[in-house]
A and B are shown apart, each in its own frame.
Chain A
Amino acid sequence: MGQSISVRDLEAWYGSNKTLKGIHMDIALNNVTAIIGPSGCGKSTFVRCINRMHETMPGTKVKGEIILDGVSIYDQDPVALRKRVGMVFQKPNPFPSMSIYDNVVAGVKLNGMTQKHKLQAIAEKSLRMAALWDEVKDRLNYSGMSLSGGQQQRLCIARALAVEPSVLLMDEPASALDPIATMHIEELIRQLKADYTILIVTHNMQQAARIADSTAFFLNGELVEHGPTSDIFTNPSDKRTEDYISGRFG
């Protein structure tokens, strides 16, 4: 089951550079929310705040509140939080020295699970969900790096799913993939939303329009507009949103 997220007056800094300038946003349960906006507007910073990765970098600062399923994330142990809030990055980043199988179960093992048959079941289930199982089932002990870029990305998704998070953050997960692998991932996202709350950063407007229930437009560290995706793409209420989605920005 997914969990809802409420963001209140969120501000984030890199050194003295204020990157998020007071974000107020409700992210609905079991929904796909797309974050769009020009490069450098703070999308990645925003999603990295949600699993408290932003503050792990030296020189950064966060202010404001993020409430996950009724509880402030700042009242939770960051490691426990990241179990519930999985993340997939733009560039696939499998653990280079590990096999496909070990990549998938790494997080689960880290959480203390050791029973082999359970790990195997989790690996198969996660790889199936990530639509990768059929392609790798005969070479699970090959290195994760032996896969193509699109397969590596699905491996990373399987790795994120294996720990059974309730929120999935995806930062441009399909930007390096071909159209077929992209469609695989989009189909996967559609299926996953029954059980997860999904936040996806994307530069592909059509992708946001296809998969997101709601879409948020960020600009210069501010949330300009957030609403049902169909409204954002047919009749946005802010001129800046319209300019951006119609490619007339700047």
Chain B
Amino acid sequence: MRQSLNEGQLDLTKILKDMGEEVGKILQGCMQTLLSLDKDQADFWITEDQRVNDYERQVDDLCVRLIATQQPVAKDLRKIISAMKISTDLERMGDLAIDIAKIVRRIDGPLCKPLIDIPEMAEMALGMMRQGLEAYAGENMGLAHDLAEQDDKVDSLYKKVVRDLLLIMTEDPENLDQGMYLAFVARYLERFADHATNIGENVIYITTAGRQDLNI
């Protein structure tokens, strides 16, 4: 029953997963350039969002086609609408990752402090994105709800990073620029995790038709 609609939904899940992997690759690449401060690498990643944009368009086109030809209702409809929103979130996440590479181009090295918390934030944000997509694929409420807790952890790491940077900047005004840039990076990662949390909110909407703010 409803074979083409079912297949369409599986295709959507697959495209979103591929899109997530692409975004993950960009985030990892951009984080790598932050650690190496390799400006050529940074230039490379800044132009790497084309595939992500293509995926977003694929999701939009498929959703429009499914709505026009399959007349989905109830949960089917929520699933399709959510796919469109998730692809928008993923596209933004790709942009945020690239914003990190743009920052790298402006940093004059070497770094004023070894980076520990920021890479950890990136790891967590990446894990959250994967978990959000897994929750979507399996309509898994548990995984979706768990994103709220992880987001809290990212938020407190973000606050800690900003506090530490403030200290470094007040200690030595030479570090002012770098401190600002690194605070931006932390801010991008915190936003990245927020978008991952949005994916979880969509999963809750799909399963319950209710809305719940996981980012509080």
Contacts and interface: CB of A to CB of B under 8 A. Distances in A.
Contacts of A234: 73-74, 77, 209
Interface stretch (A120-128, A219-227, A242-250): A242-250
B74 A248 contact: no
B1 A209 contact: no
Contacts of B5: 247
Contact of B1 (A206, A233, A245, A247): A247
A22 interface: no
B22 interface: no
A206 B71 contact: yes
A245 B77 CA distance: 11
A78 interface: no
A247 B74 contact: no
A206 B69 CA distance: 12
Contacts of A247: 1-2, 5
A209 to B, nearest CB: 7
Contacts of B77: 234
Contacts of B1: 247-250
Interface string B76-88: 1100000000000
How many residues of A sit at the interface, in one of the four size bands?
A: 10 to 19
B76 to A, nearest CB: 5
A206 B76 CA distance: 15
Contacts of B2: 246-248
B78 to A, nearest CB: 8
B72 A246 contact: yes
Interface in A204-228: 205-206, 209
A233 B71 CA distance: 11
A149 interface: no
Nearest to B78: A234
Interface in B1-30: 1-2, 5
A236 interface: yes
B65 interface: no
A242 B74 contact: yes
Which of A234, A246, A250 is most buried by chain B, counting CB atoms within 10 A of its CB?
A: A246
Given A205-B71, A206-B71, A246 B209 contact: no
B74 A235 contact: yes
A34 to B, nearest CB: 14
A219 to B, nearest CB: 16
Contact of B73 (A205, A249, A250): A205
B75 interface: yes
A155 to B, nearest CB: 30
Interface string B138-179: 000000000000000000000000000000000000000000
Nearest to A249: B1
Nearest to A246: B76
A245 B72 CA distance: 9
B209 to A, nearest CB: 4
A236 to B, nearest CB: 6
Nearest to B71: A206
A232 to B, nearest CB: 9
Nearest to B76: A246
Contacts of B73: 205, 209, 233-234, 245-246
Interface in B72-108: 72-77
A247 B75 CA distance: 12
Interface string A178-209: 00000000000000000000000000011001
Contacts of A248: 1-2
A202 to B, nearest CB: 14
Given A234-B74, A245-B73, A249-B1, 17 more contacts: A205-B71, A206-B71, A233-B73, A234-B77, A234-B209, A235-B74, A236-B74, A242-B75, A245-B74, A246-B2, A246-B73, A247-B1, A247-B2, A247-B5, A248-B1, A248-B2, A250-B1
**List of 10 A-B pairs having minimum Cβ-Cβ separation, nearest first:** A235-B209, A233-B73, A247-B2, A248-B1, A246-B76, A245-B73, A242-B74, A248-B2, A246-B73, A246-B74
Interface of A: 205-206, 209, 233-236, 242, 245-250
25 contacts: A205-B71, A206-B71, A209-B73, A233-B73, A233-B74, A234-B73, A234-B74, A234-B77, A234-B209, A235-B74, A235-B209, A236-B74, A245-B73, A245-B74, A246-B2, A246-B72, A246-B73, A246-B74, A246-B75, A246-B76, A247-B2, A247-B5, A248-B1, A249-B1, A250-B1
